Amino acid sequence: MPFPPRIAVRGKLQRESRKNNESGFRIPGLALRSRAGKCGMTDLFYQSRLANLKESLKKRKINAFLITDIHNVRYLTGFSGSSGFLFITKRKNIFITDFRYKEQAGREAQGWDIVVEKRDVIKTIERLSQKIGIKKLGFESSVSYNFFRRLSKGDLTLKAFKGLIERLRAVKDSIEINSLKEAVRRAESAFLDIKPYIKQGIRERAIALRLEERLKKKGCRHIPFEVIVASGPNSAMPHARPTEKKLNSGDLVIIDWGGEADGYLSDMTRTLLIKGDKINKKREIYQLVVEANEKAISLVSPGVKSQEIDHSARNFIKKAGYGELFGHGTGHGVGLQVHESPHITWNKKERIKENMVFTIEPGIYVPGLGGVRIEDMVVVKPDGSEVLTNLSKKLAIIK
């Protein structure tokens, strides 16, 4: 079931935008551009996200809020640059950037008042607060200490908030889900293109480089993280980096990679086995991981606690005698960042909600022998989940 924008909010936000634009809002020393723009379907989703945030701020009695995390800036505005801040009050939505991104912000952050800071962002924030009459300012706790120290020297009363927008981002709308599906499609297509190249004698790093090249040719503007290709004993390290090691007979080969579409990311892992002698133990481990993966996926549904999903995979592996060899979480949210809420691990009790998207990635890592990890992405549905990854989980033995 899609998570549609709250259309009823549209008029309210548009009235606010017009009111802001008509007010002649100016700050000495700053260049301001008002961008009403045309309202398309994607804009409605951004308006809905902003309305949800303002509702959250109202409940917490926050009259002004500063957003500094660039992923949260993109989530609320669509801005894809690397420098931007949002200053939000009950009636004003202000986007602060520098000269480099003036035109880009105007094109992408439709409906926001664009302020181009000419000196430094701290002074800009102070001037905005003085002009609007803000004395108390909420801000994201993720800011650097130096940023906080400089901001706290002024007259503003500051209060830090953790995860306000991240909690909203955990539940995806239909636009986001479509982008995530495309990021999965691109990643899987790239992997299938290079899979015939994977064979005994090929170096880990050569496989990783070829996969990265294919990802970009499939339309990924950037790679979510460094591709992991780990073979033989290296595969017993969950986050091993590709080396010049050649794939040898009987090696387990873990490949962990992701794609990108419209700023949204995907994350998946498959484990291959190079044909050789004495591989029965490796087959056994592989099958255990597949079953743990499927058990966890079968438990995904609205209302379940994230800890319960983790326990379903972890307890299965533990009963098989490999509990000490599965030391990371079973999964994590994926969206504008490759690791975000919810956290599917043993020490988190986050309530799973419809339209959350996260990975399921149990693993077993045996030092000296090798490791197996199977990672899928799922989206939560009203009565269960939809697996977004489509690659086969049947053990591929490479000749």
Average pLDDT value over all residues in the chain: 91
Question: Is 204 buried (19+), middle (13-18) or exposed (0-12) by CB count in 10 A?
Answer: buried
Q: List the chain domain ranges.
A: 9-168, 174-398
Cα distance from N-terminal residue to C-terminal residue, the chain: 43
Q: State the residue for tokens 């700053």.
A: 30
Angle between helix 41-59 and 9-22 (nearest 10): 90
Residues 96-141: tens digit of each pLDDT: 999 999 999 999 999 999 999 987 899 999 999 999 999 999 999 9
Name the band, by pLDDT with cuts 50, 70 and 90, for residue 41.
Answer: low
Whether residue 17 is predicted with pLDDT greater than 50 in this model: the reply is: no
Whether residue 21 is predicted with pLDDT greater than 90 in this model: the reply is: no
**What distance in Å separates the CA atoms of residue 268 and residue 328, rounded to the nearest whole number?**
15
Fold topology of 9-168: Creatine Amidinohydrolase; Chain A, domain 1 (3.40.350)
Superfamily of chain region 174-398: Creatinase/methionine aminopeptidase superfamily (3.90.230.10)
Q: Would residue 273 be called left, alpha or beta, if left means φ above 0 and alpha means ψ between -120 and 50 degrees? A: beta
Residues 355-370: tens digit of each pLDDT: 999 999 999 999 999 9
Closest C-alpha to 269, from 298, 296, 238, 310? 238
Whether residue 230 is predicted with pLDDT greater than 60 in this model: the reply is: yes
Whether residue 205 is predicted with pLDDT greater than 90 in this model: the reply is: yes
- What's the predicted TM-score (pTM) here? 0.89
Burial 12-47 (b: 16+ CB within 10 A, else e): ebeebbeebeeeebebeebeeebbeeebeeebbbbb
Name the band, by pLDDT with cuts 50, 70 and 90, for residue 40.
Answer: low
pLDDT average, residue stretch 248-266 = 98
Whether residue 201 is predicted with pLDDT greater than 50 in this model: the reply is: yes
Written as six digits, the tokens of 66 are 């500063």
Asked which of 15-24, 27-36, 121-130, 250-259 is least confident by mean pLDDT, the reply is: 15-24
**What distance in Å separates the CA atoms of residue 51 and residue 93, rounded to the nearest whole number?**
11
Written as six digits, the tokens of 73 are 């800036």
pLDDT average, residue stretch 36-61 = 83
SS3 per-residue string spanning 167-182? HHHCECCHHHHHHHHH
Angle between helix 204-217 and 174-194 (nearest 10): 130
For β-strands 376-381 and 357-360, DSSP reports them as: antiparallel
pLDDT of residue 119: 78
| Greatest distance between any 2 Cα atoms in the chain | 78
pLDDT average, residue stretch 181-201 = 98
Burial 124-150 (b: 16+ CB within 10 A, else e): bbbbbbeebebeebbbbeebeeeeeeb
Closest C-alpha to 267, from 322, 309, 226, 296? 226
Whether residue 85 is predicted with pLDDT greater than 90 in this model: the reply is: yes
User: Would you tell me how many other CB atoms lie within 10 Å of the CB of residue 74?
Assistant: 18
pLDDT average, residue stretch 78-85 = 96
Name the band, by pLDDT with cuts 50, 70 and 90, for residue 29.
Answer: very low
pLDDT of residue 399: 86
